């Protein structure tokens, strides 16, 4: 299905208009709602990173939550040990997460694929979680690490409103970067590997490098999310990067739509907001969470993004169409 130039212009206008309108949200929210909004932005980056490997590349992987921890710990350690300002640790955390993505997927260069590669990523994630707990001198062990309360260029780490504007800017840049990546030659190669790796290799495309690069970009996104999470919570614990976070990340990908950037945003927003707004009913959070996942997958097997794609070509995604 082709998209007219007018539709493309409308889509571009929507992409930039929504963040601009979102800048007014702190004026109409209370501190609790502001906290939830910040959590949504972190979840969006986390889900985007999960979706890059699971949806766009088509590879089951379990190490993304470990990249999340790498980014969070890198941010806190860089602040405490090196004295770097928090804003400077954001790209650093992304690079550390990308390095984790390389290490977790390096076996792909030796021809390891599919379930075997998934098990390797599971082992990588468990190894890092063990390190978070037992490398007390570096990570603080089970007590975790606290962030210093700093002020840098007027930015205070404990200020949810200031965090929101930084989180929003970082999220918009990385969502746009991911869209551009998926539209590039490399992005088309990632999609081609998902569809048929043998056919892709027959075209002379180095599929192993493509797989490793997808993991590295996923690690970068999730590592940056880790730096935002550390500032958001004010402290990092090993328990924050365990199986529960992994399951929630998978659920956000499935509910939003696998292989869809828009779906990553929708899934993260819905499944972050829902548990927060049913806290008034103790014990019902897990039930509501499970019901939403089941109902969405029964009614929309391709996720929430597929519903918007049916409603308007504005929400079609080029890499998804191809």
Q: What is the pLDDT of residues 107-129, one digit of tens each?
A: 888 877 788 888 999 999 889 98
The pLDDT of residue 8 is above 60: yes
pLDDT for residue 318: 61
Q: Answer for the pair 67, 101: CB distance below 8 angstroms, yes or no.
A: yes
Model pLDDT, residue 240 = 86
pLDDT of residue 158: 67
Lowest mean pLDDT among 194-203, 291-300, 312-321: 312-321
- Given a cut of 50, is residue 231 above it in pLDDT? yes
Closest alpha carbon to 98 in 224, 262, 271, 219 = 219
Q: Where are the beta strands (DSSP E) in the chain?
A: 145-146, 151-152, 155-156, 235-236
Of 231, 212, 223, 217, nearest to 92 (Cα)?
223
Provide mean pLDDT across the span 303-307: 90
pLDDT of residue 155: 59
Note the pLDDT of residue 99. Answer: 95
Residue extents of the structural domains in the chain: 31-242
B/e letters for 275-301, b = 16+ CB within 10 Å, e = fewer, are beebeeeeeeeeeebeebbeebeeeee
Check: CB of residue 146 under 8 Å from CB of residue 139: no
Res. 70: pLDDT tops 90 = yes
Spatial separation of the C-alpha atoms in residues 75 and 87, rounded to whole Å: 9
* Res 321: pLDDT: 44
The span from the CA of 31 to the CA of 28, in Å, is 10
pLDDT, residue 109, reads 82
Task: Provide the 3-class DSSP secondary structure of residue 235.
Answer: strand
| Bridge partners for 146 per DSSP | 235
Question: Residue 69 has what pLDDT?
Answer: 94
The pLDDT value recorded for residue 276 is 80
Mean pLDDT within 313-317 = 77
The percent of residues above 90 in pLDDT, for the chain, comes to 49
What pLDDT, on a 0 to 100 scale, did the predictor assign at position 286? Answer: 79
Taking residues 153-178, report their average pLDDT: 85
pLDDT digits over 239-254, tens only? 888 888 889 999 999 9
DSSP 264: H
* 322: confidence class by pLDDT, cuts 50, 70, 90: very low
Q: Which residue has the higher pLDDT, 314 or 193?
A: 193
pLDDT recorded at residue 42: 96
Structure confidence by residue, pLDDT tens digits, 26-57: 888 888 899 999 999 999 999 999 999 999 99
8 A C-beta contact, residue 138 and residue 77: yes
Other residues' Cβ atoms within 10 Å of the Cβ of residue 207 = 20
Q: Which residues contact 248 (CB under 8 A, 6 or more apart)?
A: 271
Kindly tell me the burial class for residue 316, based on how many C-beta atoms sit within 10 Å of its own C-beta (0-12, 13-18, 19 or more): middle
> With contact defined as beta carbons under 8 Å apart, do 87 and 150 qualify?
no
In terms of Cβ atoms closer than 10 Å to its own Cβ (0-12, 13-18, 19+), residue 113 is middle
> Per-residue pLDDT averaged across 147-173, rounded?
79
Asked if residue 320 has pLDDT above 70, the reply is no
Residue 152: per-residue pLDDT: 55
What residues contact residue 153 under an 8 Å CB cut-off, 6+ apart?
A: 87
3 state SS of 68: helix
């Amino acid at each position: 299905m082709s998209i007219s130039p007018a539709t493309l212009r409308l889509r571009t206008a929507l992409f930039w208009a929504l963040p601009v309108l979102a800048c007014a949200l702190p004026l109409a929210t209370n501190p609790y709602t502001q906290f939830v909004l910040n959590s949504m932005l972190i979840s969006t980056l986390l889900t985007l990173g999960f979706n890059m490997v699971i949806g766009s590349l088509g590879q089951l992987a379990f190490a993304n939550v470990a990249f999340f921890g790498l980014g969070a710990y890198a941010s806190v350690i860089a602040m405490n040990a090196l004295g770097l300002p928090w804003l400077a640790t954001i790209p650093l955390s992304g690079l550390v997460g990308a390095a984790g993505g390389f290490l977790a997927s390096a076996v792909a260069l030796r021809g390891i694929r599919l379930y075997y590669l998934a098990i390797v990523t599971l082992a990588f994630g468990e190894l890092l979680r063990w390190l978070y707990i037992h490398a007390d001198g570096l990570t603080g062990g089970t007590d975790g690490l606290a962030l210093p309360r700093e002020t840098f260029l007027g930015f205070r780490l404990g200020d949810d409103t200031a965090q929101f504007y930084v989180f929003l800017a970082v999220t918009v840049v990385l969502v746009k970067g991911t869209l551009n990546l998926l539209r590039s030659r490399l992005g088309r190669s990632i999609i081609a590997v998902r569809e048929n790796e043998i056919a892709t290799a027959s075209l002379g495309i180095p599929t192993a490098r493509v797989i490793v690069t997808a993991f590295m970009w996923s690690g970068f996104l999730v590592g940056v999310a880790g730096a935002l999470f550390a500032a958001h919570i004010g402290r990092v614990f090993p328990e924050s990067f365990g199986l529960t976070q992994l399951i929630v990340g998978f659920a956000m990908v499935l509910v939003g739509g696998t292989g869809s950037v828009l779906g990553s945003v929708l899934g993260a927003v819905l499944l972050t907001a829902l548990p927060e707004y049913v806290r008034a009913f103790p014990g019902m959070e897990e039930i509501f969470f499970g019901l939403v996942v089941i109902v969405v997958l029964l009614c929309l097997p391709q996720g929430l993004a597929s519903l918007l794609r049916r409603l308007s070509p504005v929400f079609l995604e080029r890499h998804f169409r191809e």
